[in-house]
Amino acid sequence: MTIDRRLKPRINVDLTPLIDIVFQLVIFFMISSTFKTAPGIELVLPESSTASAITITELSIVAVSDDEVYVNKTRTTLSGAEAVIKNELEGRSEEDVQAVLEAGAESPYQLVVSLLDALKKNGIETVSLTTRPAERLAK
């Protein structure tokens, strides 16, 4: 009787490096992606031919109507916006804060002016208005 004593090679696939690379890719995409910081409100922004991208700011104001104004995700009304802005700025220097104001193209001009007044009363001088790039007309 003959006994075969040869060792058969075992083929094992080591998945550890693959799992490490997948986790690194997941972490990379989580860190490098940006998330929408404003509440999920659809606004049709006015067009501007000089529109430019801005960085994330410390104070974001979204004006939908007199009864619906968001200050950094806090819902308030136009009359209560000044107090909410004051609460958001508590403990910060007003010179360093840059505010971004978003209002729809059909929003009343008085709403935008009232919010600008509320910001000015709280010492914020630097305010950016959010617009969308103007569509180029085909010639």
- Residue 122 is classified by DSSP as T
In this predicted structure, what is the pLDDT of residue 90? 82
Residue 139 has pLDDT above 60, yes or no: no
Sequence-distant (6+) residues with CB within 8 A of 99 are 57, 58, 59, 60, 61, 119, 124, 126, 127, 128
Measured CA distances, 33 to 25, 26, 29, 91, 96 (Å)? 12, 11, 6, 29, 26
pLDDT of residue 25: 95
Q: Alpha carbon 120 to chain centroid distance?
A: 23
Give the tens place of pLDDT for each residue, 76-109.
888 888 888 888 888 776 666 788 888 888 888 8
In the chain, where are the structural domains located? 47-133
**Is the confidence at residue 110, as pLDDT, over 80?**
yes
Q: Which of 68-72, 91-95, 110-114, 131-135 has the lowest mean pLDDT?
A: 91-95
CATH node for 47-133? 3.30.420.270
Looking at residue 21, its pLDDT comes to 95
Q: Three-state DSSP class for 98?
A: coil
CA angle 95–96–98, rounded 5-degree value: 100
H helical segments located in 1-139:
16-32, 81-88, 109-121
pTM: 0.57
Residues 65, 95 contacting (CB under 8 angstroms)? no
Mean pLDDT is highest, among 24-33, 42-51, 126-135, for 24-33
35-49 tens-digit pLDDT: 655 556 676 777 777
